């Protein structure tokens, strides 16, 4: 997701396609995590809640269901790593918006990670519809590429898997912690690519997309 900070000032903006989500989904405050290529990375406090929810659901639900033999320690450590990599994936998605934006003359100085994902803050508007289309499309494409890369890496780590349709649980149970994490992260990123596809295109004011998302 990306937005022009000046959208928040309301009447001052001449942007024709400022949709409602830009005005309402606005994180406030947070912790500065560092900077990448001069882009300040900030984590909003709401991130803590969703980080905990993801870690908790993986450590107490998904991983124990996949691996009856895992102890609590390994489930929690793998879950923490998975949640951290999930937010790293969101950051890479936002950076892709930022870098394509920069290549097209849009300055991005700040990325915020928050409960609903991430947001790259534009200092100025994209100069053309081509630039804006490029900026919008690169985010979901990046998530898609990340998703397949994680699945590919998981496949490399796990080696050839014997899949028994009568007992799919046995295939999952054979995965080590790193492969389990990657086989969770892959589909999540692919899902993210499709779910945020609409958000990214709504930022271009595509109302048909907004409707198909139900939002």
Binding residues for Zn ion, per CB under 5 A? 1, 139, 200
* Least separation in angstroms between CB 199 and Zn ion: 6
Judged by beta carbon, residue 139 or residue 147, the one nearer Zn ion is 139
* Least separation in angstroms between CB 43 and Zn ion: 17
Judged by beta carbon, residue 181 or residue 196, the one nearer Zn ion is 196
* Least separation in angstroms between CB 135 and Zn ion: 9
Report in angstroms the alpha-carbon separations of 5 from 38, 120, 134, 188: 17, 9, 19, 29
Residue whose CB is nearest to Zn ion in the complex, by number: 139
Judged by beta carbon, residue 44 or residue 200, the one nearer Zn ion is 200
Judged by beta carbon, residue 81 or residue 204, the one nearer Zn ion is 204
Phi, psi values for residue 110, rounded to 5° = -145, 140
* Least separation in angstroms between CB 205 and Zn ion: 15
**Contact status, residue 192 vs residue 118, Cβ threshold 8 Å:** no
């Amino acid at each position: 997701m990306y937005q022009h900070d000046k959208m928040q000032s309301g009447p001052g903006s001449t942007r024709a396609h400022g949709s409602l989500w830009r005005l309402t989904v606005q994180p406030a405050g947070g912790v500065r995590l560092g900077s990448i290529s001069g882009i300040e990375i900030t984590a909003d406090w709401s991130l803590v809640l969703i980080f905990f929810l993801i870690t908790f659901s993986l450590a107490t639900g998904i991983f124990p269901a996949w691996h009856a033999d895992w102890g609590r320690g390994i489930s929690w450590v793998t879950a923490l790593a998975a949640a951290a990599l999930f937010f790293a994936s969101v950051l890479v998605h936002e950076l892709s918006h930022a870098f394509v934006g920069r290549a097209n003359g849009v300055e991005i100085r700040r990325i915020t990670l928050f409960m609903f994902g991430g947001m790259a803050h534009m200092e100025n508007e994209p100069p053309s519809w081509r630039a804006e289309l490029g900026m919008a499309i690169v985010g979901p494409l990046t998530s898609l590429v990340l998703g397949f890369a994680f699945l590919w890496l998981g496949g490399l780590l796990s080696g050839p898997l014997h899949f028994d349709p009568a007992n799919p649980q046995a295939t999952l149970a054979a995965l080590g912690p790193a492969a389990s994490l990657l086989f969770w992260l892959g589909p999540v990123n692919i899902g993210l690519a499709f779910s945020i596809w609409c958000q990214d295109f709504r930022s271009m004011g595509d109302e048909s997309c907004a409707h198909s998302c139900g939002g």
